[in-house]
Chain A
């Protein structure tokens, strides 16, 4: 038992876990901003084009919503496989962390779009009315009213997104993406190295908990600054 815990922090484990951690961090740090950008754009367009939105476009809204739901409904493993040719086209290879970023973005953008949409919907209708009554354009209403007003809720959803990204990198790991997920499967599952599996899980746990704490703090601080709590 004691030996097991010593092995958990041995040189061998570190040599395997450290590069994998860096790969995971690379994938998450690159995929997050891209996903946030597309999520904000897609989520806002879903809100704007809704039948009660600022610029109703029924057919566009339904089609776009259906596409997003379709990607959401597909198991993430399938989406990753489907994204392989695209990755090959964009970054030249279909394996490794760089290729994985593309698959991650495709898997997570629909999730985040829906999260953004629901954050924006939480903003009271009266504020939209006020902005409209002052002659603000749809663009101004989104950029200057809805997103800033929804920011505390958006930050919480950023955290959900980043945690989802971390967990999807683990799945992508089984398709040669590298990172902690791959280590867990390769060593922990195929070679029965429970110590390495546990070490990988511990690192993932620290990442997730750290992010959650950071997000909660930021969101709370913002609410406090605005004197809403």
Chain B
């Protein structure tokens, strides 16, 4: 077992240079995430959510500041160590990113093949994980045969295969219908409970956060505008983003329940 995962993000900035222009996406982000938490990060499009999550698993290196995950100091890892580290971080994507050339079984086996596990080990683990996410009957199907919800279950199974200590979810339910989306979120909650996994959930939907997360942070133009428990923030939003989000939600709900309709 790995050391207790505890994510510590200190003063992280990230600047992209494109066409000789600088884009400051993150401007000094500070964030601590406790082990076993389901942590939500919300913000408008372009707030820097995806960049932040990509800095956590080393797909992007922070321009300045430091990120520590468990015993790993991300910005000091060599290329080889980054790959070893990433094998312990699962990631789930909005558009699933499954491999069309592999069956469901083959997709979930991929991270284990990368980690050079032997065949028996792989088979045992894959079947166990497919059982956990409830798609073991589809193991010989190709991704092209699955619905969105099923695809995301495969995506989650693939992310969990190699015993990660953290699961990063980048808008994992944004491409799904509300009912499927809820069942995927239920699955994430279930995994969190059963495996004690830390989950970081990026989303632009407050419903997702309200339904799933314990703690949350609001990202606004590359800085953390506020953070705290989901309950606190919903009861007393401080940041502009949170206020707009919550007001917008309430407006839609009011309009609906008052029978006036939205238009």
Contacts and interface: CB of A to CB of B under 8 A. Distances in A.
A217 interface: no
B85 A135 contact: yes
A133 B101 CA distance: 18
Nearest to A228: B144
Given A149-B99, A226-B101, A133 B86 contact: yes
A227 B248 CA distance: 41
A132 B60 CA distance: 11
Contact of B145 (A133, A134, A149, A227): A227
A127 B97 contact: yes
Contacts of A136: 83, 110, 114
Interface in A133-156: 133-137, 140, 144-145, 148-149, 151
Contacts of B97: 124, 126-127, 129-130
Contact of A133 (B91, B100, B115, B143): B91
Contacts of B89: 133
A225 B99 CA distance: 13
Contact of B57 (A133, A145, A151, A225): A133
Interface residues of B, number: 31
Interface string A214-229: 0000000000011110
Contact of A126 (B57, B87, B95, B162): B95
B43 interface: no
Interface residues of A, number: 22
Given A136-B83, A227-B145, A127 B99 contact: yes
A138 B162 CA distance: 19
B111 A135 contact: yes
Given A129-B93, A227-B144, A228-B144, A134 B111 contact: yes
B59 interface: yes
A126 B151 CA distance: 14
B34 interface: no
Interface string B84-120: 1111110101010111111000000011011100000
Given A134-B162, A135-B115, A228 B91 contact: no
Contacts of B143: 226-227
Contacts of B82: 135
Nearest to A222: B101
B234 interface: no
Contacts of B86: 132-135
Given A145-B99, A151-B101, A135 B87 contact: yes
Contacts of A130: 91, 93, 97-99, 158
B69 to A, nearest CB: 14
Interface string B34-62: 00000000000000000000000101000
Contacts of B87: 134-135
B72 interface: no
By CB atoms of chain A within 10 A, which of B84, B100, B115 has the most?
B100
Given A134-B158, A149-B99, A227-B145, 11 more contacts: A124-B97, A126-B93, A130-B98, A135-B88, A135-B114, A140-B114, A148-B102, A226-B100, A226-B142, A227-B144, A228-B100
- What 5 A-B pairs come out closest when comparing CB atoms? A227-B144, A135-B86, A135-B87, A148-B101, A130-B97
26 contacts: A124-B97, A127-B99, A129-B59, A129-B93, A133-B91, A133-B168, A134-B87, A134-B114, A135-B84, A135-B85, A135-B87, A135-B111, A135-B114, A136-B110, A136-B114, A144-B110, A144-B114, A148-B101, A148-B102, A149-B99, A149-B101, A226-B101, A226-B143, A226-B144, A227-B143, A227-B145
